[in-house]
Chains A and B, each alone.
Chain A
Amino acid sequence: MKYAFFPGCVSKGACPELYQSVMQVYPKLGIALEEMTTASCTGAGVLQEKDEKLGDVLNARTFALAEKQGLPIMTICSTCQGVMSQANHRLTTQPAYLEEVNETLQEEGLTYRGTTTIKHFLWILLEDVGEDVLRQRITKPLTGLRAAPFYGCYIQRPTEALGFEEHPDRGKSLERIIEILGAEIVDFPGKTRCCGLPILTINKVNSLSMVATHTLDAKSHGADIMVTPCPLCHLNLDGMQSQAANQEHTTINLPILHLPQLLGLAMGMDPKSLGLQRNLISPTSALAKMNLCL
């Protein structure tokens, strides 16, 4: 199982603990990675506000680079996954458009034939690594830990571009992982809603309201922690949680873990090696539940 690894800007920027934890867990799962160091940002849907075609050209270049390597792409960010999936959907369903985009790539000697698969680490765990292997790697089941899933919009919608028809279980994949890791799923209505990050710089009050709504809701359903496959959601739910609590005149203190951090704990790894000391909301109390400390 070898992949062209697309880490995304945030795992290399504001959430280095995500990159760190992925680096810890992937070799133990039979996964081999070749990092795409020459690929650009996907545009995150923001560049697409200025110019959607420019976004498609940049992503087609990334797909062509992976195609040349003969590898599927692995992402670790719901937003990267969603933006790339949408671009790939537009390119592979409109041959004339793909041809037009390919013209711009020619100068670099690249052509995209439309064969690259793009998969989030979350989907790879279930669809490629498989439940059996995953269970074999669990040495410290997260028994007694109550974990609330939080997906990130771009890995849930639009389902047409995300291959939900072919893989209907993708919509519930995070719950499945929580269950395999031995933790208890805390289901709550906000798990597929918006974290608020895209409007943090535009309407901070609304953005923080979303953080408070989802974290408080998960807590009221009994969550010890929240787990997300999206570092952008993490930036808001973890990074802005204290300010959200102040805005709503309450305390929240719900640790937000990146998916590979939770996986690493179940694989018996040292919390520090997974970068858990870098999470702004300290996971100390949740770790204590598993007899672990930072």
Chain B
Amino acid sequence: MHTTLRVRRFNPEQDHPSPYYQEYDLAFDPSDSVLDGLIKVRETIDDSLTLRCSCRGAICGSCGMRINGHATLACKTKIISVAPLGGTIDVEPMNNMPVIKDLVTDMTPFWEKIRRIQPWLRPAEPAPVAEYLAPPESMNHLAGVMSCIMCGVCVSDCTVLEVDKQFLGPAALAKAYRFVADPRDVTTATRLEALNQPSGMWDCTRCMECIQVCPKGVGPMDRIMALRSKAMAEKMPATCGSRHAEAFTDIIKHKGILDEPMLAIRTFGLKHVGRLLGMIPMVFQSVLKGKIPMSGPLHRPISSIQHIQRLFKRVRTKS
């Protein structure tokens, strides 16, 4: 079977370095991964092709790259699954980080953010004579997030990092949750306070790219949502993000449907009245264009609101 690997090349040692694409025709076996294909290219066609790899078994996290536009581990991606009819496969370095050469990226910003969340356990002192004890169910809960192999794939495809390099990002936030939810750690409040700041947990757009691409099923965005939930439960200082979630929930409780103007007013509050005023041009234009809510400007509650309120009471009392 044959395929074409279209690889994005970049050599900083050239006089005027600029990325370009190079195509390699390749004979492959149905069991070959894209990494196998790239290694074949390097060994038999072009020994200048530069890539990073090690275990070939989705454990070391070295071979993160973009295959047909989405980040993944090359060792975990079968050629036949991305080019079943033997078409062209686009292979590019990970996004949202500098490229050192060809498919090798500089992970320094990635590690800097991981360090920033202090990825180590901070248990109570003095240490017990034997080991620190933790209930098995809490450690089972953490098993998923502890599967992270730090490959950077989620960071590559994060939609926020594309526009804001300061954002902590999915990998660091998921790692932060691993310690926030560890019952042996006694610095939960300090950790949440740090993550409650700008560029932290509230800047995620919930686009689910990280959930989709994570090769180990860590579900980084789910962990970020769990951090938000914990921050609200622990009464961390309110942010526009937490007020948005609180107000949204409260509006559904009282009306059953969303009331957009009320949501904006309650999200910004008096503290951010300037930002509320910043929405006025859009609101004014909308009214001029006749974009008036069909349920009336006051958004009447839905007819079955008593059932919705009963469900709120029942679920929230139980939890």
**A-contacting 9-mer, from B30-38, B56-64, B100-108, B199-207:** B199-207
Q: Does A199 contact B (CB under 8 A)?
A: yes
Q: How many residues of B contact A (CB 8 A)?
A: 65
> Could you tell me if A47 and B245 are in contact, using CB atoms closer than 8 angstroms?
yes
B-chain residues with CB within 8 Å of residue A291 when the two chains form the complex: none
C-alpha spacing A108/B69, complex, angstroms: 47
* Complex interface bits, B186-208 against A, C-beta within 8 A gives 1, otherwise 0: 00000000000010001111111
* Complex interface bits, B235-267 against A, C-beta within 8 A gives 1, otherwise 0: 000011100111011001000111110001001
Q: Does A50 contact B (CB under 8 A)?
A: yes
**A-contacting 9-mer, from B8-16, B115-123, B170-178, B285-293:** B285-293
> Could you tell me if A206 and B252 are in contact, using CB atoms closer than 8 angstroms?
no
**What's the minimum C-beta distance from B154 to chain A, rounded to whole angstroms?**
12
Q: Does A125 contact B (CB under 8 A)?
A: no
> Could you tell me if A12 and B311 are in contact, using CB atoms closer than 8 angstroms?
no
> Could you tell me if B244 and A157 are in contact, using CB atoms closer than 8 angstroms?
no
> Could you tell me if B289 and A196 are in contact, using CB atoms closer than 8 angstroms?
no
> Could you tell me if A104 and B315 are in contact, using CB atoms closer than 8 angstroms?
yes
Interface centre among B69, B275, B294 (most CB of A within 10 A): B294
C-alpha spacing A14/B140, complex, angstroms: 43
> Could you tell me if A201 and B282 are in contact, using CB atoms closer than 8 angstroms?
no
* Complex interface bits, A242-253 against B, C-beta within 8 A gives 1, otherwise 0: 110000000000
Complex interface residues of chain A between 33 and 50 (CB less than 8 A to chain B) = 37-41, 43-50
C-alpha spacing A53/B226, complex, angstroms: 13
Given contacts A14-B293, A47-B249, A49-B229, A199 and B205 within 8 Å (CB-CB): yes
> Could you tell me if A194 and B159 are in contact, using CB atoms closer than 8 angstroms?
yes
* Complex interface bits, B285-306 against A, C-beta within 8 A gives 1, otherwise 0: 1100111111100010011100
User: What are 26 A-B interface contacts by the 8 Å CB criterion?
Assistant: A13-B299, A17-B291, A37-B303, A40-B257, A41-B256, A41-B258, A43-B248, A51-B229, A51-B319, A54-B319, A57-B311, A104-B315, A157-B211, A158-B211, A194-B209, A198-B207, A199-B160, A201-B264, A201-B267, A202-B239, A202-B244, A204-B278, A209-B164, A213-B162, A239-B285, A243-B281
User: Known contacts A9-B258, A194-B207; can you find 13 more A-B pairs with CB under 8 A?
Assistant: A17-B291, A41-B252, A43-B252, A44-B258, A49-B245, A50-B246, A53-B315, A54-B311, A58-B308, A61-B311, A157-B208, A194-B209, A201-B244
Q: Which residues of B pack against A, CB within 8 Å?
A: 69, 159-160, 162-164, 167, 198, 202-209, 211-212, 225, 228-229, 232, 239-241, 244-246, 248-249, 252, 256-260, 264, 267-268, 275, 278, 281-282, 285-286, 289-295, 299, 302-304, 307-308, 310-312, 314-316, 319
